[in-house]
Amino acid sequence: MKYSKEEISKKANHCLGCKVKMCSKGCPLGNDITQFIAYVKEEKYEEAYHTLCDTTVLSPICGRICPHKSQCEGSCVRGIKGESVSIGNLEAYLGDVAIEKGYEIPKFSNEVKNKKIAIVGGGPAGLTASAQLARYGYDVTIYEKYNKLGGILRHGIPEFRLEKEVLDKQIQKILDLGIKVEYEKALGKDYSLEELEKQYDAIFLGFGANISSKMGIPGEDLNGVYGGNELLEHNSHPDYTGKKVAVIGGGNVAMDTSRTIKRLGADEVTVIYRRAEKQMPAETKEIEDAKQEGVNFLFQTNLVTIMGQAKVENIECIKTELIKKEGETREVPVDIKGSNFVIPMDYVVMAVGSKPEEQIVKSLGLELTSRGMIKIDENYMTSRTKVFAGGDISGTKATVAWASRSGREAANAIMKFLER
């Protein structure tokens, strides 16, 4: 939604300018929110943008898609007794103004460093790491498997949540820092990690984890069962016209796929989540938008079997109750014996989590975690010297802001490593 200057001014003036900046503490990137809003109040938009640029290079994107209610806005003092400050709207507006006015991302140093870094993956972690390094004068090259950068921002978030025109313009702003790109270059196919190690002083792996996890239940291999991540990434859908579709999961991938499928003509789309609505990890606004667009929800319901001869015909579910178990930080869903029921269904979409492409990760010869992620130390370094990793591939919390933060902090660690 586009806002007028008057509406933005009203939103900015709702900010109290707290000395103790709880909103900044709630932001994974640590943006100086009260300061940038103070500049917006005075219509000093370039100063406001540069304030944000101290900590982020994705402001028009994060302003649109971050789960603000569980991050910055959820920590806003105003929200204790009323409506929190619309930080996301203000950030998105400011990012759009910066694109329109041609504000540049400022460099931190004009010194040219004689060090080359390869960035594998052009998603939020890779873009942020690249920008951070380039702003300090390092020679940066991104290796991207597609013909455009963006990663999950381009291939995982629908147009109705993030306009690709905005994404393209912000990526160009990042590339204008002097970053080079090798397009359509896939790790393990077009080049190896060993080859990069010979050519570069440091390598950052930030290619994400976009393979949909499975539940390990009967019928999961039937025709008509899809992964939510793959549907969004490749934008290759079956014909949903007049069909019933179940989306399993409660995160933003579940919301994005359910809303996309409903827009593509499905008769009924039902999100099935084994916990309560208040426990859904998806942004509250995305849940409400999905409801308004006609998506149905079944809470405290678990999928146990997908039924059919050659393709999906029905699904069997079971109701759950939430029980507080010793040692658990939140209530755990437990199946209620005898509460099984069957629903006719044409397609099932799995959105219960994601993992990296196992074959590629294992081929790198790096130490992995028990979850199959690349293991890193407190300095983002992998088990191989001068190879660093961040974002989803290293198990970072799965939001764009957290991935971006890991890219920024990994870049800082790379600089310390190179200048030691």
Examine the pLDDT at 395 and tell me if it is beyond 80. Answer: no
Residue 111 lies in a domain: no
What is each CA distance from 324 to 44, 332, 334, in whole angstroms? 50, 6, 10
334-358 average pLDDT score: 94
391-406 average pLDDT score: 87
Each residue's pLDDT tens digit, 275-314: 999 999 888 889 999 999 999 999 999 999 999 998 999 9
What's the CA angle centered on 394, arms 198 and 235, to 5 degrees? 95
List the helix and strand counts (H, then E) for the chain. 15, 16
Element at 130 (helix H, strand E): helix 124-135
DSSP string, 140-200: EEEE-SSSS--THHHHTS-TTTS-HHHHHHHHHHHHTTT-EEE-S--BTTTB-HHHHHHH-
Q: Strands across the sheet with 296-298, in order?
A: 225-227, 347-350, 244-248, 268-272, 296-298
The predicted structure's pLDDT at residue 361: 87
Nearest alpha carbon to residue 207 among 120, 288, 319:
120
Q: Which two tokens stand for residue 42?
A: 């005075």
Nearest alpha carbon to residue 163 among 144, 150, 173, 147:
150
Q: Do 247 and 369 sit in the same domain of this protein? A: no
Examine the pLDDT at 1 and tell me if it is beyond 70. Answer: no
Q: For residues 54 and 3, what is the distance between their CA atoms, to the nearest angstrom?
A: 25
What is each CA distance from 12 to 85, 89, 133, in whole angstroms? 7, 10, 32
The predicted structure's pLDDT at residue 397: 72
- Is the separation of the CB atoms in 28 and 405 below 8 Å? yes
Q: Do 88 and 19 sit in the same domain of this protein? A: yes
391-403 average pLDDT score: 85
Query: Residue 192 contacts by C-beta under 8 Å, 6 or more apart in sequence?
Result: none
Nearest alpha carbon to residue 93 among 124, 49, 54:
49
Each residue's pLDDT tens digit, 172-198: 999 999 999 999 999 999 999 999 999
Each residue's pLDDT tens digit, 114-159: 999 999 999 999 999 999 999 999 999 999 999 999 999 999 999 9
Q: What rounded mean pLDDT belongs to the chain? A: 94
Q: For residues 350 and 216, what is the distance between their CA atoms, to the nearest angstrom?
A: 11
Element at 320 (helix H, strand E): strand 314-323
The predicted structure's pLDDT at residue 221: 95
Confidence band for 357, pLDDT divided at 50, 70 and 90: confident
Confidence band for 316, pLDDT divided at 50, 70 and 90: very high
Q: Which of 47, 77, 101 is the last residue of a domain?
A: 101
Q: Do 399 and 300 sit in the same domain of this protein? A: no
Residue 110 lies in a domain: no
Q: Which two tokens stand for residue 136?
A: 């300090």
Q: Which of 101, 134, 159 is the last residue of a domain?
A: 101
The predicted structure's pLDDT at residue 190: 96
What's the CA angle centered on 59, arms 56 and 61, to 5 degrees? 120
Residue 22 lies in a domain: yes
* Residue 93 structural domain: 5-101
Q: For residues 62 and 64, what is the distance between their CA atoms, to the nearest angstrom?
A: 5
Each residue's pLDDT tens digit, 43-95: 999 999 999 999 999 999 999 999 898 899 999 999 998 999 999 999 999 99
Q: Do 403 and 341 sit in the same domain of this protein? A: no
What is each CA distance from 264 to 206, 260, 269, in whole angstroms? 32, 6, 11
Q: Do 399 and 366 sit in the same domain of this protein? A: yes
Each residue's pLDDT tens digit, 211-243: 899 999 999 999 999 999 999 999 889 999 999
The predicted structure's pLDDT at residue 370: 86
Q: What CATH number does residue 291 fall under?
A: 3.50.50.60
DSSP 33: H
Q: Do 164 and 287 sit in the same domain of this protein? A: no
Domain count, the chain: 3
The predicted structure's pLDDT at residue 325: 82
Q: What CATH number does residue 13 fall under?
A: 1.10.1060.10
Q: Which two tokens stand for residue 298?
A: 């079944």
Q: For residues 302 and 291, what is the distance between their CA atoms, to the nearest angstrom?
A: 20
Examine the pLDDT at 403 and tell me if it is beyond 90. Answer: yes
Confidence band for 204, pLDDT divided at 50, 70 and 90: very high
Q: Which two tokens stand for residue 122?
A: 């052009």
What is each CA distance from 371 to 355, 374, 394, in whole angstroms? 8, 9, 10
Backbone angles phi, psi at 313, to 5 degrees: -125, -40
104-115 average pLDDT score: 95
